[in-house]
Amino acid sequence: MTAYQELIRINPAKRFGRPCVRDTRITVYDVLGWLSAGMSYEEIINDFPELTKQDILACLAFASQRERTVQYV
């Protein structure tokens, strides 16, 4: 699993404190949305060359960890 802690950052002054990839303004939500819309890693990287495959995997790892810690009623 990707060590997302080094790549996903939360800065209250950027994108309303949403988790972003490194120092970009690209949120984990953005990346997950593109993947769920059917974009491939390569398409995302072509559209946003500041991202790497490792960044995309970090977004998936971050979302996976969040899902694991959600308390369901």
- Classify residue 72: in a domain, yes or no: no
Query: What local confidence, expressed as pLDDT, does residue 73 receive?
Result: 73
Domain hosting residue 47, numbered range: 4-67
- Distance, in Å, from the CA atom of 59 to the CA atom of 8, rounded to the nearest integer, reads 7
Give the CATH number, domain containing residue 39: 1.10.10.10
- Classify residue 12: in a domain, yes or no: yes
Place of tokens 């060359």: 49
Query: What local confidence, expressed as pLDDT, does residue 70 receive?
Result: 76
- Classify residue 23: in a domain, yes or no: yes
- Distance, in Å, from the CA atom of 36 to the CA atom of 33, rounded to the nearest integer, reads 5
If the chain, 73 residues long, is cut into consecutive pieces of 10 residues, what is the mean pLDDT of each piece?
83 94 95 98 98 96 89 75
- Classify residue 27: in a domain, yes or no: yes
Query: What local confidence, expressed as pLDDT, does residue 2 receive?
Result: 54
- Classify residue 21: in a domain, yes or no: yes
Global pTM reads 0.88
Query: What local confidence, expressed as pLDDT, does residue 20 receive?
Result: 97
Question: How many domains in the chain?
Answer: 1
